[in-house]
Amino acid sequence: DVYDEVVRRNPGETEFHQAVQEVLASLGPVVSKHPQYANANVIRTLCEPERQIIFRVPWVNDQGGVEVNRGFRVEFNSALGPFKGGLRFHPSVYLGIVKFLGFEQIFKNALTGMPIGGGKGGSDFDPKGKSDGEVMRFCQSFMTELYRHIGEYTDVPAGDIGVGGREIGYLFGQYKRITNRYESGVLTGKAIAWGGSQVRTEATGYGTVFFVDEMLKAKSQSLDGKRVVVSGSGNVATYAIEKVHQLGGTVVACSDSTGYVVDEGGIDLETLVDLKQVQ
Across the range 243-258, mean pLDDT stands at 95
Catalytic: which of 84, 99, 108, 120?
120
Residue range 34-68, pLDDT digits in tens: 989 888 888 899 999 999 999 999 999 999 999 99
- pTM, full prediction: 0.84
Chain centre distance of CA 222: 28
Closest CA to 87 of 76, 68, 101, 77: 101
- Residue 279 has a pLDDT of 82
Residue range 13-35, pLDDT digits in tens: 999 999 999 988 988 898 889 98
Q: Give yes or no for residue 131 having a pLDDT over 90.
A: yes
Q: Give yes or no for residue 113 having a pLDDT over 80.
A: yes
Q: Give yes or no for residue 277 having a pLDDT over 80.
A: no
Distance CA 170, CA 130 (A): 14
The more confidently predicted of residues 57 and 200 is 57
Q: What does the H/E/C string look like for 30-83?
A: HHHHCHHHHHCCHHHHHCCCCEEEEEEEEEECCCCCEEEEEEEEEEEECCCCCE
Q: How confident is the model at residue 70 (pLDDT cuts 50, 70, 90)?
A: very high
Long-range (24+ apart) CB contacts under 8 A made by 13-19 are 13/95, 13/96, 13/99, 13/100, 14/96, 15/96, 15/97, 15/99, 15/100, 16/96, 16/97, 16/99, 16/100, 16/103, 18/100, 19/100, 19/103, 19/104
Q: Give yes or no for residue 251 having a pLDDT over 80.
A: yes
Q: Give yes or no for residue 124 having a pLDDT over 80.
A: yes
Average pLDDT of the chain to the nearest whole number: 94
CB of 120 closer than 8 Å to CB of 49: no
Distance CA 60, CA 69 (A): 11
Across the range 123-141, mean pLDDT stands at 96
CB of 13 closer than 8 Å to CB of 99: yes
Q: Give yes or no for residue 87 having a pLDDT over 90.
A: yes
Across the range 269-279, mean pLDDT stands at 87
For the question of residue 120 being annotated catalytic, the response is: yes
